[in-house]
Amino acid sequence: MKRLVRFWKEYARRYRWWYLLGILCLVATNVLTVAIPTFVQYAIDALDAGLGFDGAAKWALIILLAGLCIIVVRTLSRTLFFNPGRTVEFRVKSSLFDHLLELPRRFFDRTRAGDIISRGTNDANAMRGLIGFASLQLFNSIFTLALTLGRMFSMDVILTLWVAVPLIASGFVLRYGIVKMFALFGANLAQTATLSERILESYSGVAVLQAYNALPGAHRRFDVENAELLDIGERLLRIREWLLPVVPMVGKLCVVLVLYIGGRMVVDGALTIGQLTAFVAYVNIMVAGLFSFGFLIGATQRGYIALGRIYELIDAPVERPETTAALPPPAPQGHGLRIRDLTFTHHGADRPALSGLDFEVEPGETLGIFGLTGSGKSTLLGLLARIHDPPPGTVTLDGVDIRDVPVRDYWRRVACVGQEAFLFSRSIEENIALADPPGEVDRARLRQAVADAALDVDVDAFPEGLATTVGERGITLSGGQRQRTALARAFYRDFEVLLLDDVMSAVDHATEKRLIDALYRRAARKTTLVVSHRISVLTKADRILVLDDGRLIGQGSHEELLEAAEPYAHAWRLQQAAERAEALDEAEAAARGDGEAADD
């Protein structure tokens, strides 16, 4: 109940006048519905009394008018209940999406993407059914049963009790089915989320499945999950097919009782034929009202369970401090970073990814970071970008602990480009100017960002230029083009701190040299940290840190590290040898090409 009260206060209460008008329309609908059998009674009794066609015609006209009025008020009631449901669904999904953007990476590391998608779609739809269809059916059923029973009792108490006893018995049977269905609805939503995750996983990894001829295995795994969902659906269907029809069957029995007992009363003169006819109509109306309770309970169960699953995401702890501290105004020279005794362990890991890091980055300084795989380079940048929050007091920006700054304010000042460039299925322009609304893109800044990211030649080669759509995750671009598009996205922003995590791993050496020149030209005005396994990217940095197994083992200029840091110097020698071998291969290939041309 607390869940429903909270939902009402947060989302539905603002539409209370809609619901009030909807309730009034439902009252009018049911009053007219219950009145029609009475009008039929008067028409039949008029005919039975020998008043002829004229005596019954006026009641027939009244029934026609009542029917037309029912069409109007019933349509209005559905509009007044269903329209707010759509709006509430939009607001709930927006709240859910906004909260997901606030959650740290560790939440997504332990939560399946398919489960999140299922809760935001299937569960949100079920929640809309709760606020729309279920709410309407609740009031409609209450008014139908109250008005119908009241009219039946006013006609004959004994005959009404004869009808009520079997209907009450059928209600107990229906309750048994409802309890069973409640558990199955929860299992159905959970299994739907599992199946969504399986589909999303297979879709994302379709290239791997094709390359390893693993599609049959993927089909079998899908069939297992789908069979489980099918089994739950069949059990729900069996309950519906065997238990829910109990009420209509009992309703037919009630009609037989009314005709038998009520017929004897007509013979005895206790009832008129018109009253008996009206009573049969009331029984059918009441049975329809009880039967709608089955749909009401089903929609309520699904919606209530779905609402709980949605609130589990909305209430997922952000695990960030509630602060209102502000960073100092942007300084022309950039911002200084201070890292003090930084130790960090990933969730579920048995050893720290970083241990006791201690260094400073002066305002406007370009800091290179080198290390072998697993040395903690990406973890360090993830902490500085607040993908993960560092321990308190370990990272400060201009003297302010970054944990004390609201995360969205911090993100406005920092641009980060990760190893894996994620692009949306939009145009290149939209992916670069991601933060600007359509029509507000700064064209000059956009062109400069594209040029600095060495993407201009590629864009000019595309038939549609910057308007070229890149497909899901940028599938139509090469790895290097995706990285440079993500780099242009960072350059387009007005950042104060720039974090680059191995952003040149997929580009060729010619493009790399051009990118390095543009990068250090921009970095001269901003605080910049560059992570790269290619030492050639780091040679122009003001200072370079060398990490090994999460520890800082050396720092200095490129020349100083060649003398002092063995892992760095060894990697430099290997990379220089690889570049010389590559250049020699290219020269030999060019020579062969010249020789073949001369022979021709």
**33: domain CATH number?**
1.20.1560.10
Is 329 part of any domain?
no
Which pTM was predicted?
0.66
The total of structural domains in the chain comes to: 2
Is 206 part of any domain?
yes
Q: 598 pLDDT band (50/70/90 cuts)?
A: very low
Is 323 part of any domain?
no
Q: Are residues 374 and 264 in the same domain?
A: no
Is 48 part of any domain?
yes
Q: Are residues 300 and 433 in the same domain?
A: no
Q: Are residues 526 and 410 in the same domain?
A: yes
Q: Are residues 422 and 304 in the same domain?
A: no
Contact (CB, 8 A) for 379 and 373: no
Q: Are residues 242 and 379 in the same domain?
A: no
Q: Are residues 225 and 262 in the same domain?
A: yes
Parallel, antiparallel or unpaired: strands 337-344 and 400-401:
unpaired
Is 5 part of any domain?
no
Rounded-to-integer distance, Cα 355 and Cα 259, Å: 87
Average pLDDT over residues 306-325: 75
Rounded-to-integer distance, Cα 252 and Cα 286, Å: 12
Of 392, 441, 418, give the one whose Cα is nearest residue 498. Answer: 418
Task: Look at residue 325 in the predicted model and tell me its pLDDT.
Answer: 53
Helices 16-48 and 52-102 pack at an angle, to 10 degrees, of: 160
**415: domain CATH number?**
3.40.50.300
Q: Could you list the residue range(s) of the whole structural domain that residue 226 is in?
A: 12-314
Q: ∠591-593-597 over CA atoms, to 5°?
A: 115
Contact (CB, 8 A) for 397 and 336: yes
> To which residue do tokens 């026609």 refer?
64
Is 1 part of any domain?
no
Which one has a higher pLDDT value, 161 or 296?
A: 161
Q: Are residues 534 and 391 in the same domain?
A: yes
Q: Tell me the two tokens of residue 425.
A: 């299925």
Of the ranges 344-348, 357-361, 574-578, which one carries the lowest mean pLDDT score?
A: 574-578
Q: Are residues 289 and 367 in the same domain?
A: no
Of 334-338, 448-452, 574-578, 588-592, highest mean pLDDT: 448-452
- The string of DSSP codes covering 455-500 is -HHHHHHSTTGGG-B--GGGTTS-HHHHHHHHHHHHHHS--SEEEE
Burial of 487 (0-12, 13-18, 19+ CB in 10 A): buried
Is 136 part of any domain?
yes
Where helices occur in 315-405 by DSSP H, the ranges are: 377-384
Q: 27 pLDDT band (50/70/90 cuts)?
A: very high
Residue 522: left if φ>0, alpha if ψ -120 to 50, beta else—which one?
A: alpha
Count of helix runs (H) and strand runs (E) in the chain: 22, 10
Rounded-to-integer distance, Cα 415 and Cα 409, Å: 12
Average pLDDT over residues 19-45: 89
**pLDDT per residue over 47-96, tens digit each?**
777 666 666 788 888 889 988 999 999 999 999 988 888 888 898 888 88
**pLDDT per residue over 413-426, tens digit each?**
888 887 777 788 78
